[in-house]
Amino acid sequence: MKTLATGFILGSLVLAVCLPLVTFAQPIPKKLQDAVGEVVVNTTACTVTCGLGYKEETICEVGPDGVRRKCRTQRSECLSTWICGMLHFTVSSGKEYELICLSADILEIGLDKFRFSWRIARGIISIEDEVFKPFMSRSYFVKFKSIQEYDSGTYRCDVQLLKNLRFVKRVYFGLKVLSSKLVHLDFHQSLTEEQKLADEGLQVNLGNYSRPPHLPWRRDVATALGIGIASGVIGGVLVIFVVSSGLRVVYRNASDET
């Protein structure tokens, strides 16, 4: 009885191993041999590194013989990451300024295909969700007619596809507004004459140091010192002349009395 059970088990194992061999040994049906499928044979890189972009794909029909037929090129969406990081800007107060949340691909598709929403973290530079509050703009831009220090902070723009409200882009704008009364951002004005010439592309030997700009008040001080010294010399001569004259008179009177 035990021998029969052992033989039954071994027979079952042999049958299980042989069945796949028997199955694969069957010929491939004629329909499958002539089947043709579409295969992506080439693709370009995405047009953007973040946000919604596009790539071009080459698709061909490939049969059992491996020959490519009826190839065509089509454009398809690509989205590696939808968070684009932060851009930093520093401007002086009182100027007209604009933040724009666009890309060439969005313009090509059409603004009506997207939804734009803005949030703000006023007064700080951050990407933490908890510090952001809704901002009034629903357009693709935020415009300041006369930007002020109060407008400093982080502005976040989210872009969604209207057809499915899928997020396709998020970008942060770190904006610092400096008072025009305290800081003057005219770099060219702070240069020396030699540095200005070099900045314009002229050959100037600046040496190992930059000579500070000539200050007019130093010339005035030097002039005043010169006048003072000259006045002192003339005054001293006059004093000596008066004293010497007085001494001559005193000695003459003393001689007459003797």
Instruction: Summarize pLDDT for 49-99 with one digit per residue, the tens.
Output: 888 888 999 999 887 777 888 899 988 888 888 999 999 999 999 999 999
Q: Are strands 153-161 and 114-122 parallel, antiparallel or unpaired?
A: antiparallel
Residues 107 and 118 in one domain: yes
Residues 59 and 87 in one domain: no
Q: Are 179 and 163 in contact (CB under 8 A)?
A: no
Residue 241 lies in a domain: no
Residues 73 and 150 in one domain: no
Residues 87 and 172 in one domain: yes
CB-based contacts of 198: which residues, under 8 Å, 6+ apart?
Answer: 204, 206
CB-based contacts of 104: which residues, under 8 Å, 6+ apart?
Answer: 47
Domain total of the chain: 2
How far is the C-alpha of 91 from the C-alpha of 146, rounded, in Å? 11
User: What pLDDT, in 10s, does the model give residues 185-224?
Assistant: 565 666 777 777 766 656 555 554 444 454 454 455 445 4
Domain-terminating residue out of 130, 149, 178 = 178
Q: Tally Cβ neighbours within 10 Å of residue 93.
A: 20
Q: Which pTM does this prediction carry?
A: 0.55
Domain-terminating residue out of 47, 64, 81 = 81
Residue 198 lies in a domain: no
- What is the per-residue burial (b if ≥16 Cβ within 10 Å, else e) of 14-37? eeeeeeeeeeeeeeeeeeeeeeee
Residue 247 pLDDT grade (very low, low, confident, very high; cuts 50, 70, 90): very low
Question: Range of 141's domain?
Answer: 83-178
User: What pLDDT, in 10s, does the model give residues 11-23?
Assistant: 454 444 444 444 4
Residue 188 lies in a domain: no
State how far the alpha carbon of 133 is from the alpha carbons of 5, 31, 64, 121, 156, in Å.
77, 62, 59, 6, 10
Per-residue model confidence (pLDDT) at position 68: 84
Strands in the chain per DSSP E: 37-43, 53-62, 68-78, 83-92, 97-100, 114-122, 133-134, 141-144, 153-161, 167-178
Domain-terminating residue out of 125, 157, 178 = 178
CATH assignment of the domain containing 153: 2.60.40.10
Residue 52 lies in a domain: yes
